[in-house]
Structure 1
């Protein structure tokens, strides 16, 4: 079952498939964990029960996303031993400890307080419960810290030596805080906030479009748009600094992203808005560009010099055709996110935020774009590193296990089937919860809270305390 591909190609496809499934769940849980912390803080500060009801609703979706992130992450770790054993042997002295730090410092923190966060409302004090929520939110960020540190080291390796063909650590501070880490960490953090904010905005817009005008839907829609308004411009600034860092440390990747073949000596570099980079002819066909803008953005100078792909040997060039368009997809969606937030800001002034149907439709369409932009960004980052798995140190082909293509092909097909069933079911369940929408519960007397209610769920599945097949509030009014 090699599907006509080599073991290397199949192993790369398999890892890309599993990591693409995995990344959407941690990104959701990182953003939602912080959102839940804000909701509980607002509840404690204002005693407005709307925040409590929103917390109850979004913690259900967070719980599913968190669980799926853990499961998919475990599968990825096994692939280092099955498909990429040489990578583990050669670079495991650095990546192994970094991933272990993530488990020890982040996963244990999240797991230790997750139960209190999900099932401790009414069983522990309010401050203790809020502390648990904060610890879970901080734990998701610490987890992101170590994962991004490991990935960034593979992109810009520092603080190591090669002894007997094995990479050994020499300076852990240089390894952890490698040159690209601050930019990648900030870029991923803002992306996670955008992913979650767009999901909240899209869900709320769906219910606004269907006629709900209660405070639960309005407030969640408003809070989400405020977050997008803050995060989208921040992402532009972070992305600019990340680009400058990539120009310095990974010039071949940047040249491939821009479809830039010839180094622009003593002249400006245009920014191509459209084109089809051709790896055979070493030229970007049908190019449509803006003069000077490429140099201005990449070097902050009108005639700044940027290395072209021809300055690198063909075997050291990433695939410009793919990177050119994956990057532009990410940027285009980012601009649409900013447009959504600015549109909401303008409509606030006329008190039309909750009555403008085109904005609600726009928000619904934009709901999944955070995930699309996230995946496009990761494809750009990871494929831009090729043909290296540790940039400039270890080639991807040399990191592969000695496994036959038929074996890798069989496991790839198996992964596709299992992931489609397991994660497809989880995503369907999340959609059902979103379709149901947040519900009012604060009017219930406190003495009615018991097993199956918000105060004292007794088992994990009790975190979702009502059937998703029950009619929603707008359905009851029909």
Structure 2
């Protein structure tokens, strides 16, 4: 196959970032979940919260480690495959990545050891502080990474220096560029929902085996609360993000919606097959006027088409059209799960409905799929640019040969599937074990050598009457 070095480098980066993004999207939410669990244990003294904390802590440690490793490998590609991009954007993206290391990674690394091993050494309250700092660190990491990515989508606050580099002119405009607030909120909510549906799936799995499993009830209940409350907020945030994208990246919106011809009163194309060569969407199933209503909040609002832009600036509509619909479709399935759980909770049958539990298990990986679909939409929609409208992808690559990139790509694929396959297998095995057994040290057991006694354990005399 005659594939250029640019395409191979793009495939390699897409492969590594796809592996990487699933771990932060899980650990960001899981760190906050652990903080909530430990806070609830300190507040209520219920043993079940501490058991769940230890249960998920092991899984968090593995996911966090795989996220760090995959992120480091990914970053090296800036120097090997994208040296021109790294040189031209270095004065802006370099400091942003440095801020992420200094303010986020150091915070996570500094408190992670205490979080993993320090409960019986530093005391429960100081340990809770460490857990909160790790959760804050994961959020700060997302803040800086998304700021950098958003700047590539909607560059601001820069000037071009004599060397042809993007140089900072206003750091506030760079960090808080036009798309960043929307992208950050959308991604953080996606991380929380991703974690919620994993936790919900694990809880549902153990409820199917034993409906009286108190820890499984707590997991499932908390996950369904998150689905019911956060999913509507996420859909609203996604709509706001879409309006922002329409303002700053209209060609991306045209490709996402499958519109080659722009116009007023545009329909919403539910299904079709975009044909880039013919510049039209075949087999369209559409709802009249709804596209304008959603995108412009007006019946006769104008929706752009790809033909409004030079053909060499078109992103790939065939990819964007379907990746966007996968993300949106999963979002509405999550909303359906949340509403269903609210109805069953109202009827008092949340833990006695196997059909809901099986559906929750099926939806377990839905957050990861939605995040991947969303990132495909974001990144493919920025093409053919690395810095939108300013630096083309074809002008960003290092002087490398296609065979060299192809060789490293094959090595990456083999190593990633072995290493991360083992790690993922371990996490799935840990999730399959009941949280009622073997999930951590006996709650309330003091560390005699350190002279520290954790908060006293509390065992609910009526474990089936959970109200979470």
Q: Could you say which TM-score interval applies, normalised by the shorter chain?
A: over 0.9
Q: By how many angstroms is 1:363 displaced?
A: 0.2
User: Partners of 2:441 and 2:302 in 1: how far apart?
Assistant: 65
Q: By how many angstroms is 1:4 displaced?
A: 3.0
Q: Which residue number in structure 2 is paired with residue 195 of structure 1?
A: 194
User: Partners of 1:77 and 1:445 in 2: how far apart?
Assistant: 41
Asked if the contact 1:203–1:437 (Cα under 8 Å) also holds between the matched residues in 2, the reply is no
Q: Which residue number in structure 1 is paired with residue 266 of structure 2?
A: 269
User: Partners of 2:87 and 2:259 in 1: how far apart?
Assistant: 36
Asked if the contact 1:31–1:192 (Cα under 8 Å) also holds between the matched residues in 2, the reply is yes
Q: Which residue number in structure 2 is paired with residue 10 of structure 1?
A: 8
Structure 1 segment 303-382 matched on structure 2, within 5 A = 303-382=300-379
The C-alpha deviation readout for 1:30-52, integer Å capped at 9, x for no partner, is 00000001001111111111111
User: Partners of 1:327 and 1:447 in 2: how far apart?
Assistant: 50
User: Partners of 1:450 and 1:89 in 2: how far apart?
Assistant: 56
Q: Matched residue of 2:302: which SS? A: coil
User: Partners of 2:183 and 2:256 in 1: how far apart?
Assistant: 17
User: Partners of 2:329 and 2:220 in 1: how far apart?
Assistant: 23
Q: Which residue number in structure 2 is paired with residue 163 of structure 1?
A: 161
Q: Which residue number in structure 1 is paired with residue 78 of structure 2?
A: 80
Scaled by the length of structure 1, what TM-score is found? 0.92
User: Partners of 2:361 and 2:444 in 1: how far apart?
Assistant: 36
Q: By how many angstroms is 1:213 displaced?
A: 2.1
Structure 1 segment 206-221 matched on structure 2, within 5 A = 206-221=205-220
Relative to structure 1, the CA distance from residue 344 to residue 447 in structure 2 (aligned partners, 3 Å threshold; closer, same or farther) is closer
The C-alpha deviation readout for 1:145-199, integer Å capped at 9, x for no partner, is 0000000000000011112311111111000000000000000000000000000
Scaled by the length of structure 2, what TM-score is found? 0.94
Q: Matched residue of 2:349: which SS? A: coil
Asked if the contact 1:387–1:395 (Cα under 8 Å) also holds between the matched residues in 2, the reply is yes
User: Partners of 1:445 and 1:54 in 2: how far apart?
Assistant: 11
Asked if the contact 1:217–1:438 (Cα under 8 Å) also holds between the matched residues in 2, the reply is yes
User: Partners of 1:106 and 1:366 in 2: how far apart?
Assistant: 31
The C-alpha deviation readout for 1:271-293, integer Å capped at 9, x for no partner, is 00001111111111111111111
User: Partners of 2:447 and 2:26 in 1: how far apart?
Assistant: 29
User: Partners of 2:161 and 2:114 in 1: how far apart?
Assistant: 47
The partner residue of 1:411 within 388, 404, 408 is: 408
How many residues are treated as equivalent by the alignment? Answer: 449
Q: By how many angstroms is 1:211 displaced?
A: 2.8
Q: Which residue number in structure 2 is paired with residue 459 of structure 1?
A: none
Unpaired runs of at least 5, structure 2 = 455-468
The partner residue of 2:123 within 122, 125, 129 is: 125
Asked if the contact 1:187–1:238 (Cα under 8 Å) also holds between the matched residues in 2, the reply is yes
Q: Matched residue of 1:439: which SS? A: coil
Unpaired runs of at least 5, structure 1 = 457-478
Relative to structure 1, the CA distance from residue 450 to residue 391 in structure 2 (aligned partners, 3 Å threshold; closer, same or farther) is farther
Which shows bigger deviation, 244-253 or 352-361?
Answer: 352-361
Q: Which residue number in structure 1 is paired with residue 385 of structure 2?
A: 388
User: Partners of 1:158 and 1:227 in 2: how far apart?
Assistant: 35
User: Partners of 1:442 and 1:24 in 2: how far apart?
Assistant: 26
Relative to structure 1, the CA distance from residue 303 to residue 418 in structure 2 (aligned partners, 3 Å threshold; closer, same or farther) is same
User: Partners of 2:378 and 2:166 in 1: how far apart?
Assistant: 22
The C-alpha deviation readout for 1:244-282, integer Å capped at 9, x for no partner, is 000000000000000111121xx3000000011111111
RMSD over aligned Cα atoms: 1.6
Structure 1 segment 425-464 matched on structure 2, within 5 A = 425-440=422-437, 444=442, 446=444
User: Partners of 1:445 and 1:287 in 2: how far apart?
Assistant: 59
Q: Which residue number in structure 2 is paired with residue 173 of structure 1?
A: 172
Asked if the contact 2:245–2:253 (Cα under 8 Å) also holds between the matched residues in 1, the reply is yes
Q: By how many angstroms is 1:449 displaced?
A: 6.5
The question of 1:36 aligning with 2:34 is answered yes
